[in-house]
Copies of this chain bind each other. A is one copy, B any other.
Amino acid sequence: MKIGIIGATGKAGRALYAEATKRGHEVTGIVRDPDRAGSILGTDATVLVKDAFDLTADDLTAFDVVIDAFSTPPARAYLHVDLAARLVSLLRETQTPRLVFIVGAGSLTTGEDHRLLVEDLRRLAEAGTFIATPENQLKELQFLRGVDDVNWVAVSPSRTFVPGAATGFVTGKDDLLFAPDGSSQVTTGTMAVAILNEIENPKHVRERFTVRDE
């Protein structure tokens, strides 16, 4: 399949790029900095050098799937919402490309009262340094849940999302997942495998799922 990855040089994006390439897909990194892309994805990587906000409908419909693995500093975390809204706006009343959004674990629910994890995160001493990101990714998911005329899926990692190779994994829907030892972790490699599985064999249409390492 033709897969475009926004944010292909980021933490999640580079693992997705590697996994999709390994599986033989035609993968394009949508990047702003071609030199950075060359050093991270390899100088033979296929790239579309463009700010994600400048993508046109024609750019998007050249792909079967576009993965939004965009990242930005917390001070401009509203860009998560704005980019999702823009991609959706360009693709209203279509089925292709499928849009895959990575939305942080903060938008998952947890505990017996099914509170949002972001509520717990807000109480951390260092919340001010990062909280805008999970808050805006929650808004992004809430926005997506109102979109019924575009083929989207959202994926949340577990609470800890670290670079690393794929392991076996477990998926869930909207509740934060924990391993039997109480940890809640997923590697970028596992996320990439779970997302590529979903791309090749769609099971979640216009909903969010979550993944943890086994």
Residues of A within 8 A of B (CB): 76, 78, 81-82, 85-86, 88-89, 92, 139, 142-143, 146-147, 149
Contact = CB atoms under 8 A, between A and B. Distances in A.
Contacts of A76: 92
The majority secondary structure among interface residues of chain A is helix
Copy tally for this chain in the complex stands at 2
Contacts of A139: 146
A149 B149 CA distance: 28
Contacts of A146: 81, 139, 142-143
Query: When A and B form their complex, which 5 residue pairs have the shortest distance between CB atoms, in order from nearest?
Result: A85-B85, A82-B89, A139-B146, A78-B92, A143-B143
Given A82-B85, A85-B143, A142-B146, 16 more contacts: A76-B92, A78-B92, A78-B147, A81-B85, A82-B88, A82-B89, A82-B92, A85-B85, A85-B86, A85-B89, A86-B86, A86-B89, A139-B146, A142-B142, A143-B143, A143-B146
Nearest to A82: B89
Interface-centre pick from A76, A88, A92, A146 (highest chain B CB count, 10 A): A146
Contacts of A142: 142, 146
